[in-house]
Amino acid sequence: MLISLILPVYNESENIAHLWERLKETIAGMNEYRFEAVFVDDGSYDSTVEEIQKLQPTDALSWKLVRFSRNFGHQAAISAGMRHAEGEAHILLDADLQDPPEMIPVFLEKFREGYDVVYGIRQNRKEPWWLRFCFKTFYRLINAIADRPIPLDVGDFGLISKRVAGLISEMPENDRLIRGMRSWVGFKQLGIPYDRPARYAGTPSYNLRRLIELGLDGIFGFSKAPIRVALFTGMLVCAIGGIYLLQVLISFAMGGRTVQGWTSLITLGFMLGGANLIAIAIVGEYVCRIYFQTKNRPLYVVERIEESPSSKKAIDPAA
């Protein structure tokens, strides 16, 4: 049985050789499987491609390299890997070794038991405390508002069957969150806890801006809650304004003196203006995503596809 290992890479030259050795050690003795490592180069500008081309395949482990024309993002790279993989099961893992290859046999055991999706649940993370706090907050927030909850503390690391990979690949949306799409398709799923180590070498490609963008993709892509928050915020502000107006009218009818000045006007103006800005921004997020989706541009552009020397293939999609 052929198993595909989906490996998005972006400036991972320091990790490639060590990753390859870990993969070979992990699959040694798993004679019932053959493995293909599908590297997707997401526009690296270091020697990542050259390091991959140096890798020596074995009878059990070969490689394929899908090269993007530029950087399109981690989620696009995973999607490309799934589209170009040929295995009966796809195992998604990062090349920085924070996703330990030693989990591969565990995932495959559960796959043989009939699970279409087996995902890793991160424990004992080595990131800074503030980043761990942000991750925990994000997953609990999105689960509170999402139409289909995403399992807590999971990433893309895990196994999906060929049919699940095909369904995700066919989904047309551009703003992709693979872990959310994986949860949405359903089928038999199982989470397995694992300790998440630190990076073997190099620096993370996900900076704060990219993490925020990924979080927004999850919130706006899998929930109607933001637009409803805008609705209820508007209703609340209108109710507060109405109560204030009623109080002033009652006071005036009973012969009381109304408060002179600009305080009440400024307060209500700020409240209404703030509510309008929040509502417009939320609606704008959805409209912006619809706009880019209707352009119908491809999710990524492949410059070239190469395979390990034993395959003797190199494909230029533009040819």
Give the 3-state secondary structure of residue 57: coil
**Whole-number percent of the chain with pLDDT over 90:** 10
Three-class DSSP category at 114: coil
pLDDT band for position 35 (50/70/90)? Answer: very high
In this predicted structure, the answer to whether residue 223 has a pLDDT above a threshold of 70 is no
Give the whole-number percent of the chain exceeding pLDDT 70. 65
DSSP state of 103: G
113 versus 260: which is more confidently predicted? 113
Confidence of residue 47 (pLDDT cuts 50, 70, 90): confident
pLDDT(115) > 60? yes
For residue 43, the model assigns a pLDDT of 85
Closest-CA residue to 57 (of 23, 83, 9):
23
The order of strands in the sheet holding 61-68 is 189-195, 117-123, 154-161, 89-92, 2-9, 34-41, 61-68, 302-307, 314-315
Identity of the residue numbered 287: V
List all residues 6 or more positions away from 218 whose beta carbon is below 8 Å from its beta carbon: 138, 142, 146, 150, 177, 180
5 contact partners, CB below 8 Å, separation of at least 6: 23, 35, 36, 37, 38, 90, 91, 93, 104
80 Cβ partners below 8 Å, 6+ apart? 40, 66, 68, 299, 300, 302
Beta bridge partner(s), residue 40: 8, 66
